Amino acid sequence: MGEQLRAYRYALDLTDAQASAVAQHAGAARWAYNHAIATKFKALDERQAVIRGAVDAGADPAVAAKQAPKIPTRFDIQKALNQVKGDDRTDQEGVCPWWHSVSTFAFQSAFSDADRAWKNWLDSITGNRKGRRVGRPRFKAKHRSQDSFRIHHNVKNPTIRPDAGYRRIRVPRLGSLRVHSSTKSLCRAVDRGAVIQSVTISRGGHRWYASILVRQTADEAVPTRSQRLAGTVGVDLGVHTLAALSTGETVVNPRHASVARTRLTKAQRALSRTQKGSNRRRRAAKLVGRRHHEVAERRASTLHAITKGLATGWATVAVEDLNVAGMTASARGTVDKPGSNVRAKAGLNRAILDVSPGEFRRQLEYKTAWYGSTLAVVDRFYPSSQTCSACGARAKLTLADRIYRCAACGFAADRDVNAAINIAAQAAVAPGKGETLNARRAVDDHPQPAGIQSLTAMKREGHRDNAVVTPTRQRVGHPNIGAAQEVAAPYAYG
């Protein structure tokens, strides 16, 4: 499979001194980012003025644009900053005389981030970037942006490394940081030749996290014997159940957000009762942030457990190519065409978002590649929930119908399980050939393993396995079945 970038993420247990050093680094990175963006905007104004002047004087616009001063990149910005930064150790005045108290990488990583934000914006304007329109880079405000910075090292002479005992990681300038979980899997990867590239330290709620990026080579993963025996599993992402499998099993939507929403609402209500600028308000706001963060963390670990269970349990995981934006579009409708049943649909939308289908799909993409399975994406125009998985007859179901009952053959099943069986069967046929397959038999051909058992076992592994990956290679799903989604490009490192 070649090279892989993989991230190991740990919650940190910092000493007071480390916590303040880390916060200082994050502040420096924010300052540097804002400095870079401001420098770029100032240069853009100057550039446009020069071009305008030249064109007014009769120059060709294309020539004028070529001759006008360029927008500075991180190297230019760093070089210029070195002249004016000052140094408070020698009472030299400047724009950031405190620069020596943080790692120089806090500046460098922020400058890279600013370059990327700038490029994304320009590419989005010029049409060189697909997808959602990227806005003009914004300045990072202390209370709005996420506190984060990256530290690199020379990979030949690594200074970012796990300490002995699986409990600590060593980061230059910050020292030995204690982590919540064990670094064993990271240590093993390093022993097998993985190379640590950088560490990103960021704040989530009240806690700091370290995400260690590792470059490793991995053999092409092939399905294990038990995966091959298991064959194909169809997955229907649902609202009432988080996921229904073609094996008949359902994973109950933990609805983290709805359970935690009560706590969150309480925290928000408390916040609204406080007075602006008071200490009480500051504390209440902190609690609201913490509650939001808890919801996100729990949701993330559930999703990771499920996608890992699927990717390791079967040779092929079949999912539907859902139109997420369409499913969650506002139920209110427009003035001309007001939506019906708005309240019920609003609840539905919340539940769908709770499952994060996009993230589910993204994780399945890279985990199937890791564990030797294949992701098959079934065309979303295939009516998986309206088709009888036993005889192929069609029926109209409303969202309220929980059980699929076939009038033609008498088959009855949970509606989502019925859909999952159809998805598995659809993945087995090459679309466009007009070929059909008896869906029941297609599934019955493969004895199913205790997929969900392995799935719940995975859950216990918790955050250690919340490895976030940036695949260096794009994986294409089952032949002829939908194109693989574009995956996020690796960070541009500086």
Where does this chain bind Zn ion (CB under 5 A)? 388, 390-391, 393, 406, 408-409, 411
* Smallest separation (angstroms) from Zn ion to the CB of 393: 5
Nearest to 425 by CA among 249, 242, 239, 235: 235
Exposed/middle/buried for 313, CB within 10 Å: 0-12, 13-18, 19+?
buried
Residue placing its CB nearer to Zn ion in the complex, 211 or 246:
246
Contacts of 123 (CB under 8 A, 6+ apart): 129, 134
Residue 364, phi then psi, degrees to nearest 5 = -60, -35
d(CA 418, CA 272): 46
* Smallest separation (angstroms) from Zn ion to the CB of 218: 44
Residue placing its CB nearer to Zn ion in the complex, 303 or 388:
388
* Smallest separation (angstroms) from Zn ion to the CB of 414: 15
Q: Do the Cβ atoms of 384 and 320 come closer than 8 Å?
A: yes
Contacts of 27 (CB under 8 A, 6+ apart): 142, 147
d(CA 302, CA 287): 23
* Smallest separation (angstroms) from Zn ion to the CB of 445: 19
* Smallest separation (angstroms) from Zn ion to the CB of 271: 54
Nearest to 383 by CA among 372, 370, 371, 394: 394
Residue placing its CB nearer to Zn ion in the complex, 409 or 457:
409
Residue placing its CB nearer to Zn ion in the complex, 376 or 406:
406
Residue placing its CB nearer to Zn ion in the complex, 260 or 429:
429
Residue placing its CB nearer to Zn ion in the complex, 409 or 492:
409
* Smallest separation (angstroms) from Zn ion to the CB of 224: 35
Nearest to 19 by CA among 178, 200, 219: 178
* Smallest separation (angstroms) from Zn ion to the CB of 417: 14
What are the b/e assignments for 382-408, b being 16+ CB within 10 Å?
Answer: bebbbbbbbebeebebeeeeeebebee
* Distance between first and last Cα of the chain: 26
d(CA 377, CA 317): 8
* Smallest separation (angstroms) from Zn ion to the CB of 219: 44
Residue 472, phi then psi, degrees to nearest 5 = -90, -5
Nearest to 68 by CA among 76, 59, 77, 81: 59
Residue placing its CB nearer to Zn ion in the complex, 196 or 390:
390
Residue placing its CB nearer to Zn ion in the complex, 62 or 407:
407
